[in-house]
Amino acid sequence: MSIVVLIYSVFLYPIIYIFPAYAANGAPVLFGGGAPIDGKRKFRGKRIFGDNKTIRGAVAGIIAGAVVGLIEYPFLHFMLPIAVLLAIGAISGDLVGSFIKRQLGFKPGRGFPIMDQYGFFVVALLFAFLLGHMPGLYGMLFLIILTGLMHVATNRGAYALHLKSVPW
């Protein structure tokens, strides 16, 4: 295997592949707000998602992921439907994490290690798995490491820019 193929398959393609999920996960911080997606309803006496999960944020996330797919489309035609699934999966994964946190009694904004960093990522990959073209084993290992690092860096950046009230 040439070094160019190695770099593409282990590093570049995995980044291109997962970027719609990253965009979907980050967009609600920039474009969210408004009405909570759960309508303030409760499940077993506790909020379903909380005030920080909004309709506008979820829609913005899905649109951001789809836009990334449109940008990737001229180069990788198969990525547009995958990008949409990654975006929907990322938003769904974030909502699942929020639901679990609320049901366990976590206060809004409180960190939940592993779930906060990887919930959106795992569900996004599960959704996209339906269409294939997944990165290989080494690419996936790279993405696991990258996702953890990116989560820390982007959340600290958003906190420093006063886009988030907590740095996690």
Q: Indicate whether 1 belongs to any domain.
A: no
Give percent helix, percent strand, percent coil of the chain, each to the nearest 5.
65, 5, 30
pTM score: 0.92
Number of domains in the chain: 1
| The predicted structure's pLDDT at residue 25 | 96
Q: Give pLDDT tens digits for 60-75.
A: 999 999 999 999 999 9
Residue 132 is predicted with a pLDDT of 84
Residue 95 domain-assigned (yes or no): yes
Other Cβ atoms within 10 Å of 152 Cβ, number: 13
Per the domain annotation, does 149 fall within a domain? no
pLDDT at residue 102, rounded to an integer: 94
Confirm whether 113 is domain-assigned. Answer: yes
* DSSP state letter for 87: H
Q: Is the dihedral of CA 133, 138, 144, 148 positive or negative?
A: negative
Domain membership of residue 45 (yes or no) is yes
In a domain, 49, yes or no: yes
Whether the CA torsion 104, 109, 150, 18 is positive or negative: it is positive
Instruction: Report if residue 163 sits inside a domain.
Output: no
Task: Give one DSSP letter per residue of 94-146, joined into a string.
Answer: HHHHHHHHHHTTPPTT---TTHHHHHHHHHHHHHHGGG-----HHHHHHHHHH
Amino acid at 93: G
The pLDDT of residue 107: 84
Q: What pLDDT, on the 0 to 100 scale, is given for residue 167?
A: 82
Residue 43 CA from chain centroid, whole number: 24
Please list the ranges in the chain whose pLDDT falls under 50.
Answer: none
Residue 129 maps to a domain: yes
pLDDT of residue 143: 98
Pull the structure tokens for residue 151: 């989560």
- Cβ(43)–Cβ(50) below 8 Å: no
The residue whose two tokens read 């996702």 is 147
According to the model, what pLDDT value does residue 80 have? Answer: 96
Q: Which domain holds residue 124?
A: 19-135
